Amino acid sequence: GYMGDGAQGGNVQVRPVTGEKPRPGAKDSLSYKVTYQPGNQGWAGVYWLSPADNWGDKPGRSIRGATRITFYAAGALGGEVVEFKAGGVSGKKYQDSFELGLGSQALTKEWKQYSIPLRGANLSNVIGGFAWVATAASNPKGLTFYLSDIRYEAGAGGTHK
C-alpha cells in the first residue's frame, strides 16, 4: 500500500534484492531495497497490508501471541531518517485495532535490528501489518535503505535495540 508521493507512482520503489547488501549472520542475502525521491506531497510510505491492497474495505487478520515485531534496517549512506510503525489504517468500514511505532529513526550504513513492542496491544484486526514513512523535510535529496526479516514474534523482549 503506497502512500503520499508513493501513491503518485515512480517516486517510491520497493523491490526484493539478493546479495546487494548482505546482512551478517542472515540465513540468506534477500532484503528489500527501498528508494524514495521526494515529490509534490513531501512524504511517502508503504504499508504491508492484509489482505493485499486493503485500506479498510475488508477485515484484517487476527494475530495471537505476538509480543513484538522485529526487523532489520540499514541505510545506503547512513543518516536516512525513517519512521517505522504497524497498525493505524482507518477511515473506511474496517480499521486496525491498534497503532504502534518507533518514531523517526536515523539509520546507519550497518544493519541494525529494531523491535516494536506489542505487549498489551489489541491484535484482533491487523490490516497494516508493518509500514515505513519518510519525509522530504528529513530526506531532502531522497533516500535509499534496506529492510530484512520483518516478523511478528512471541516471547520475552519487545524493547527497542
Residue 9: band (very low, low, confident or very high) from pLDDT cuts 50, 70, 90 = confident
Q: What is the pLDDT of residues 81-99, one digit of tens each?
A: 999 999 999 989 999 999 9
> What is the C-alpha to C-alpha distance for residues 22 and 24, in angstroms, rounded to an integer?
6
Q: Which residues of 108-139 are buried (b: 16+ CB within 10 A; e: fewer)?
A: eeebeebbbebeebebebbbbbbbbbbbbeeb
DSSP β-bridge partners for residue 117: 68
pLDDT beyond 90 at 128: yes
Torsion of Cα atoms, 126 then 87 then 32 then 14, to 10°: 100
Mean pLDDT of the residues in the chain: 93
Q: What is the pLDDT of residues 40-93, one digit of tens each?
A: 999 999 999 999 999 999 999 999 999 999 999 999 999 999 999 999 999 899
Predicted confidence at residue 156, as pLDDT, reads 62
pLDDT beyond 50 at 158: no
pLDDT beyond 60 at 142: yes
